[in-house]
Amino acid sequence: MKQPFSAILFDLDGTIVDSAPGITATLAHTFERLGLAIPTPAELVAYVGPPILDSFRDLAGFSFDESERALGIYRAEYLSTGVFNATVYPGVENVLRAIHESDVALSLATSKPEQPAKLILDRLGLLPYFDVITGASDDEVRSAKKDVVEEALERLRALGAELNNPVMVGDREHDVAGAAHHGIPTIFVKWGYGSPAEEVGTIAVAKTAPELQRLLLG
């Protein structure tokens, strides 16, 4: 693993915060409003991480129009209640603080739209640690992780950040593939929502926040 890293991109859901309770409750509300059977808790957790429109298509089997309708219901409920039901994973704030105090640029890179991402980070006191906040666009046109990573790199570059050796930190295969699309390696965190199979292609796996900090900063 090549160190030191010049810039770090962090996923949000399942990496920085446990946001599953708010997301799954909002999804249950959405299915109920649509007059559909509510998936099991285990099935709902599978929605956490990937772009929500992709999950409506791939997991619920919705058409484009059905997905758009579901998104409207989901977004309104999530911004009013679900967004506030998220907690920081143990020790992760210490990692973000250490990065902020170093010379390494830090960007969020989440498939969640930027508005709720900022609300979560601000409420938990984590927003000041980031140089850049990058997420999906409100219209979800930019939601694939590779597109979010590209936007994060562009924003970091505009700040004059050194990008010769960036790294992604995430918990799902979407993080790994999205970063790899730009030749960026991923450090996988074990405390998130991903399965062991999703670790394939990563350069390291962190089981605890202190271990992640050592991997990132030495």
Residues with a catalytic annotation lie at 11
Which structure tokens are listed for 88? Answer: 């920081």
Q: For residue 56, how far is the Cα from the chain centroid?
A: 17
Q: Whose CA is closest to 11, among 119, 147, 171?
A: 171
Confirm if 105 and 8 have CB atoms less than 8 A apart: yes
Handedness of CA 184, 7, 137, 124 (dihedral sign): positive
Q: How far apart are CA 43 and CA 31, in angstroms?
A: 13
Q: What whole-number distance in Å separates Cα of residue 180 and Cα of residue 125?
A: 30
Q: Is the dihedral of CA 179, 121, 117, 105 positive or negative?
A: negative
Closest by CA to 148, choosing from 131, 168, 120, 119, is 168
Q: At what angle do helices 64-80 and 114-123 cross, to 10 degrees?
A: 20
